Amino acid sequence: MTEIYETQPERTDLPLVAMPSVLKSMIDPIKAQFPALKDVARVRMFEEFTSDEDVIAERVADADVLLVGGYHISDDLLRTLNEHSHVKCIVFCGTGVASYINLDLAREFKIRVCNAEHYGDHAVAEHTFALMLELVRRTGQLDANVKAGSWSWAGGDGLQLAGRRLGIIGLGGIGSTVAGIARAFGMKVSAWNSHVPAEHFERSGAEPVNDLNELIANSDVVSVHLPLNNATRGIVTAENLAHLQPGTLFINTARSEVIESGALLARLSKGDIPAGLDVFDHEPLAADDAICKVPGIVLTPHVGWRTDGAFKELTRQMIQCVVAYFAGKDYNVVVSER
């Protein structure tokens, strides 16, 4: 039986905030934030994870605010919420909400959509280097070899990051953090100069490169950190990826949709680009997906953002979004109800 955690249940005069599905890792961090809603709103949280839309719709039927963690809001569910619930504010546990909800439809229904910003800059940046280091040192394979009684590495010697050039596509909070780590490793850092404020280059120490093809062609490692929105969807094209030199490492911990559909799989299928990917066109990734058959790449299940520090900051921002909504203020608003 699903446990239900409630705050101020006797305060039926207060609006209701519902979290019908929650990642296990979020339960304690978000509970720690609920005191900020004292005398502001009641909370009802179902302590299990489900993406069953019928269950979600039933659990939020009498709610004013929906807290979303780790699942998509389909157009059908959004229509149900609009027609059969009181929900007028949806707060996501992430930044790239365009991947999880139809923002235009939410705007049509006058439902506020909020996100969280920069909560995972360090988490995703660190995961970027986890993927990068796995590609150049193969610690997972070495661990398995040693435990199997082998003291050799059939895969050959490792690669050194120091002295190599990292090309960053997307020099925002995460990209800038990645640049700082790369410089600490002794890497040279460049970044695509596409609508990037000058202070980002000054702060990160990255060298601006105006042409994306040039950035890709001259980098030993290419790492993608663009947010997903209408302007960035498919912005990295097959023609851009054609400039990857054999042996260049390719990392994507941002969103798969910022790359032209099918372009990355086509380039990686040539077998000469080691890649580390945390995001995919279809999630969860099926075992028979074509990307799983490409040799020489490392795949992780969209976990770059999942650290204790990120959960703490993420849940703080989620509850701040709720406090601001009931106070008639804006905080991390992606789609306004007004």
Question: d(Cα 69, Cα 285) in Å, to the nearest integer?
Answer: 19
Catalytic status, residue 165: no
> Among 122, 164, 225, 255, which one carries the catalytic annotation?
255
> What DSSP string runs through 98-133?
GGTS-HHHHHHTT-EEE---STTHHHHHHHHHHHHH
CA nearest neighbour of 178 among 218, 234, 137, 132:
132
DSSP 127: H
Which residues on neighbouring strands pair with residue 5, listed in sequence order?
45
Helix (H, G, I), strand (E, B) or coil at 22: coil
Q: Angle, to 10 degrees, between the axis of helix 173-184 and the axis of helix 121-137?
A: 50
Per the structure block, which two tokens stand in for 304?
A: 């770059």
Per DSSP, the three-state class of 112 is strand
Contact 323, 40 (CB under 8 A): yes
The C-alpha atoms of residue 315 and residue 31 are separated, in whole angstroms, by 9
Q: What DSSP state is assigned to residue 237?
A: -
* Burial class of residue 192 (count of CB atoms within 10 Å of its CB; 0-12, 13-18, 19+): buried
Count of other CB atoms within 10 angstroms of residue 113: 26
Q: Cα(70)–Cα(48) distance, rounded to whole angstroms?
A: 12
Residue of 6, 58, 108, 283 with catalytic role: 283
Burial of 39 per CB tally in 10 Å (0-12, 13-18, 19+): exposed
Give residue for tokens 């596409």. 194
Closest CA to 301 of 269, 277, 281, 268: 277
Asked if 72 is an active-site residue, the reply is no
Verify whether residue 302 is a known catalytic residue: yes
Backbone φ, ψ for residue 168 (5° rounding): -105, 130
Catalytic residue among 59, 225, 243, 302: 302
Q: Parallel, antiparallel, or unpaired: how do β-strands 16-19 and 333-335 relate? A: unpaired
Active site positions, annotated: 255, 283, 302
